[in-house]
Amino acid sequence: MKKHHLFMAAMAFAMSAHVVTAQPEKEKAVAAVPVKAAGAGAGSAAATLQMKPLAEQTQAALWASRVLGRYHYKAVPLDDAMSVKIFDNYFEGLDSEKLYFVQADLDRFASLRTKMDDAINNEDLTGPFAVFNLFQQRYNERMNYARQLLKTRPDFTLDESIELDREKSPWAKSEDEVRELWRKRVKNDWLRLKLAGKDEKAIRETLDKRYENYMTRMRKLNNEDVFQMFMNAYATAIEPHTNYLGPRSADNFDIAMRLSLEGIGAVLQTRDEYTIIREIVPGSPAALSGKLKVGDRIVGVAQGDKPFTDVLGWRIDDVVQLVRGEKGTTVRLDVLPGDAGPDAKHVSVSMVRKKISMEEQAAKKSIIEVKEGAIKRRIGVISLPTFYLDFEARRRGDKDYRSATRDVARILGELKKEKVDNVLIDLRNNGGGSLTEAIELTGLFIDKGPVVQQRDAQGRVEVESDLQPGLAWDGPMGVLINRGSASASEIFAAAVQDYGRGLVIGEPSFGKGTVQTLIDLDRFSPAEKVRYGELKMTIAQFFRINGGTTQLRGVTPDIKLPVLTDPESFGESSYANALPWVAIKPASYTAAGDLKELIGPLQKRHEARIAKDKEFQFLQEDIAEVLKIRKENSISLNETVRRKERDAQDARAKLREARLAGASGTSSDEPAAGPAGKEARGKVPNPTKPAKAVTAVRGTPRQDDGLQYDERDLQAELAAEKAAKDAKDILLQEAANILADEVGMLRTDTRLASRAMPYMASRNGN
């Protein structure tokens, strides 16, 4: 992760939605001392927790440093030079927008700048934890100040603006300067709600509750969170894709890779002080109980016949730890119905845990029919969110272990029976996963041969190959990628491209050309119950079979679609310490085809088609708007100016609807895809930052309502998410159009087919 994501990742982990999963672990004590928060105002907590490192954390840090120093692909000594990088990473990771610390705070810890290495080597993390404790103090001070500002109505007639992205800005030099930043931030929050039609009383209540919730989230962070943030400041100072995973994060990573869990099948989320049920997995114990509904609030958890534990006000992962358990065991929930008041009758729900598949992250299929005159081309689409593999089940010889390759092979068999003409593997926003799966998935589309090359720290190159003869799909195919396609996705797309096996469509991929392995630090623990966590460590660089690498440059598509992301802020090239691009000797392989003759004509057809497509025109307008906003990096705080911008957005939306209705002959009844406008292009809890990407779906963007995700009605929020998910995906449709064009060219020109795809020569007709 990027250094400026460290604190936000910790806050998200503590408060975001979690699937109830796996086996519980015993709660660890938090080493903390309550102290009065400086500058605390009315309504604030009486005390904050001063975090202190646990002995096992100082030991884990030492062992991690030894492993990183000896076995990392880019072995860097833990010395004073590295200490400086850790120091900078840590401060910027905690306060990426420079909104909490002032320069004097950094100066206060200047002696630590070259002593972070000593802190790790001497097993004394008092200094790094003291930095966090000061951050916690500053955080509460800023939130209390923000709440005090709500007592005075802002002046929206002034001609002033707020900076959207402060990651590259200097630290505030004084308390007055940082307070000015917060005055503008609160003013912007107020103005967003005012423009959305909220009255002054509702605005004050909403924002006061929001800032109070921020403080609550801060109080719920524990020393494991702090330690993980510090260790990731160290790990990412070496190289961007090396991370430390605390015990809980390691457990969740394992669940995500195997796509299965043992639990009740409910997705939980925190709203205010309650743990609510956000989703229920069909067929799960939660669903079969018949007593649980989306929106219900869990206020107590009990194991078997034991008494309930009150969980009101708990952080989400602590609640999940109580609800988790082995299949066959019983858990009871004390539930307050979502549609009832706080004094309503509670419902007790008893469930037996079982194994549940996480189908949302599994491979899925769909078929897109493309018409050209009287001819219909059927394009089979396989969407793959991640390269998952149940490592443990495979290791122990379970014949039914779950993997991406197995699921895709099954789907290909189904698509064959459904007589599709072409297959598209959709890898957009697939950040990777198992290297083994990338190799085996490639093997479904090639007879056999090398797939990827790996070079370790000693310069030794190993060729990883598909050794299984035969193809699961021998027809034409394509791969759809975007900037979010990384690692294993890039290995697969590059191999398909190098073999001439299929067309790569989309935008340049992420550019991650490194291989990571998981190091279980628990092996160094002196006691079974003392957990050290895991390292996800870079151990090699991978190369294409043609000798190139995806590192930094990514995979360049054969057919380019509009670029939706800002490469300066997203992708490998945005990391200052990313490994460089290099090339090695190509592997020995025989191409399956040569698609170069197809690419030019297909690109021309694609460009001609989207030039006439209203939705693509709107997409290009949105891209231009996002780039303009990012370049300006500011937004007006003048109400008149903002209302004009909002009115212009409304007018543009109505014009778009009219143009779409005119093009289709109907009126659009598709719901909004999501908030729009400058003030909405951000992520919680920083609503002022512009997005790094544009969503390519149909639907008139709704105006910004000024609310955070957990401030909206849950049912309305879920409905909006479903609408966005179900909205027309114009890039997917265009990729299908391109593959339909390819089928037509291959079937009408047998000579071209024999040159491009020798096995296609015998295919003819429409």
Phi, psi of 335 (to 5 degrees): -120, 135
| CA neighbor of 649 nearest in space, from 627, 625, 616 | 625
Tokens 């796996």: give the residue. 22
Residue 761: its pLDDT value, please? 53
| pLDDT at residue 12, rounded to an integer | 52
729 in active site? no
Distance CA 407, CA 418 (A): 17
The yes-or-no answer on residue 574 being catalytic is no
Specify whether the CB–CB gap between 333 and 348 falls below 8 A: yes
Q: Which of 105, 390, 421, 498 is catalytic?
A: 498
pLDDT interval class at 323 (50, 70, 90): very high
Mean pLDDT confidence for 627-654: 91
Q: What is the mean pLDDT of residues 721-739?
A: 92
Q: How many CB atoms lie within 10 A of CB 378?
A: 17
Which pLDDT score, from 0 to 100, does residue 766 have?
Answer: 46
For the chain, the residue count is: 766
Give me the helix-helix angle, 596-611 and 730-748, nearest 10°.
Answer: 130
Phi and psi dihedrals of 641, rounded to 5?
-65, -45
pLDDT above 60 (res 66): yes
Q: Which pLDDT score, from 0 to 100, does residue 709 have? A: 80
* Predicted confidence band of residue 693 (pLDDT cuts 50, 70, 90): low
Inter-CA distances, 284 with 256, 275, 327, 356, Å: 18, 19, 12, 7
The three-point CA angle 692-696-700 to 5° equals 105
d(CA 727, CA 670): 7
Closest to 475 measured CA to CA, from 423, 419, 405, 409 = 423
Q: Which residues pair with 271 in a beta bridge?
A: 274
**What element of type H or E holds 409?**
helix 404-417
Q: How far apart are alpha carbons 25 and 225 in whole angstroms?
A: 16
Rounded to whole angstroms, the Cα distance separating 5 from 753 reads 49
Is the Cβ–Cβ distance between 116 and 83 less than 8 Å?
Answer: yes
In CATH terms, 260-357 corresponds, of 1.10.340.30, 3.40.50.300, 2.30.42.10, 3.30.1330.50, to: 2.30.42.10
Phi, psi of 115 (to 5 degrees): -125, 10
Residue 393 binned pLDDT confidence (cut-offs 50, 70, 90): confident
For 358, other C-beta atoms within 10 Å of its C-beta total 18
Q: Is 722 a catalytic residue?
A: no
Answer with the residue of higher pLDDT: 140 or 675: 140
600-621 confidence digits (pLDDT tens): 999 999 999 999 999 999 998 8
Q: Does residue 29 have a pLDDT over 80? A: no
Q: Which tokens hold the place of 266? A: 């409910």
The confidence band for 696, taking pLDDT boundaries of 50, 70 and 90, is: low
What percentage of the chain exceeds 70 in pLDDT? 87
**Tokens at residue 736, please?**
């299908």
- Sequential DSSP letters for 173-216: SSHHHHHHHHHHHHHHHHHHHHHTT--HHHHHHHHHHHHHHHHH
Residue 49 neighbours by CB under 8 Å, 6+ apart: 30, 32, 33, 34, 35, 136, 219
Looking at the predicted structure, is the pLDDT value of residue 36 above 80? Answer: no
The model's pLDDT over 523-536, given as tens digits with 9 standing for 90+, comes to 999 887 889 999 99
Q: Which has the higher per-residue pLDDT, 184 or 37?
A: 184
The separation between the first and the last C-alpha atoms of the chain, rounded to the nearest angstrom, is 49
Closest CA to 669 of 621, 713, 728: 728
pLDDT of 251 above 60: yes
The overall average pLDDT reported for the chain is 88
**Homologous superfamily of domain range 359-592:** 2-enoyl-CoA Hydratase; Chain A, domain 1 (3.90.226.10)
**What pLDDT, on a 0 to 100 scale, did the predictor assign at position 760?**
59
- Judged against a pLDDT cut of 60, whether residue 678 lies above it is answered with no
Q: pLDDT at position 10, please? A: 59
Beta bridge partners of 303: 331
Name the β-bridge partners of 275. 270, 298
What confidence score (pLDDT) does residue 652 get? 85
Residues 711, 210: Cα–Cα separation, whole Å:
8
Helix or strand holding residue 224 (H, E) = helix 223-238
pLDDT for the residue numbered 335: 96
Render pLDDT for 400-446 as a digit per residue (tens, 0 to 9): 899 999 999 999 999 999 999 999 999 999 999 999 999 999 999 99
For the cut 60, the answer to whether the pLDDT of residue 24 exceeds it is: no
Looking at residue 704, its pLDDT comes to 86
Whether a cis peptide bond, with omega within 30° of 0, leads into 285 is: no
Q: How far apart are CA 467 and CA 449, in angstroms?
A: 7
Task: Please give the average per-residue pLDDT across 283-307, as a whole number.
Answer: 95
**Cβ contacts of 152 within 8 Å, gap of 6 or more:** none
The string of pLDDT tens digits covering residues 466-508 is: 999 999 999 999 999 999 999 999 999 999 999 999 999 999 9
Residue tagged active-site, from 284, 487, 489, 636: 487
- What was the pLDDT predicted at 23? 31
Structure tokens at 392: 């443990």
Confidence at residue 47, expressed as pLDDT on a 0 to 100 scale: 55
Could you please report the per-residue DSSP string of 546-582?
A: TS---TTT-PPPSEEPPP-B-TTTSSGGG-TTPPPP-
* Ramachandran assignment for 313, one of left (phi > 0), alpha (psi -120 to 50 degrees), beta (any other): left
Report which of 720, 711, 716 is spatially closest to residue 214, judged by C-alpha positions: 711
Q: Which of 98, 220, 512, 692 is an active site residue?
A: 512
Task: Report whether 225 contacts 204 (CB < 8 A).
Answer: no
pLDDT at 41 over 80: no
Choose among 538, 562, 445, 550: nearest CA to 489. 550
Decide if pLDDT at 691 tops 50: no
The amino acid occupying position 23 is Q
How many other CB atoms are found less than 10 A from the CB of residue 224?
22
What are φ and ψ of residue 755, in 5° steps?
Answer: -80, -45
- Among candidate residues 372, 357, 168, the one with its CA nearest the CA of residue 255: 357
3-state class of 73 per DSSP?
A: coil
Query: Which residue, among 196, 24, 46, 6, has the nearest Cα to 642 in the 3D structure?
Result: 196
- Supply 1's token pair: 């992760």
What is the DSSP annotation of 565-629?
Answer: B-TTTSSGGG-TTPPPP---PPP----S---HHHHHHHHHHHHHHHHT-HHHHHHHHHHHHHHHH
CA–CA distance, 408 with 363 (Å, rounded to integer): 6
Contacts of residue 92, Cβ cutoff 8 Å, sequence gap at least 6: 3, 4, 167
Percentage of the chain exceeding pLDDT 90? 72
Phi-psi region of 169 (alpha: psi -120 to 50; beta: other; left: phi over 0): beta
pTM: 0.87
Q: Where are the domains of the chain?
A: 31-238, 260-357, 359-592, 594-766
Which pLDDT value is given to residue 694? 52
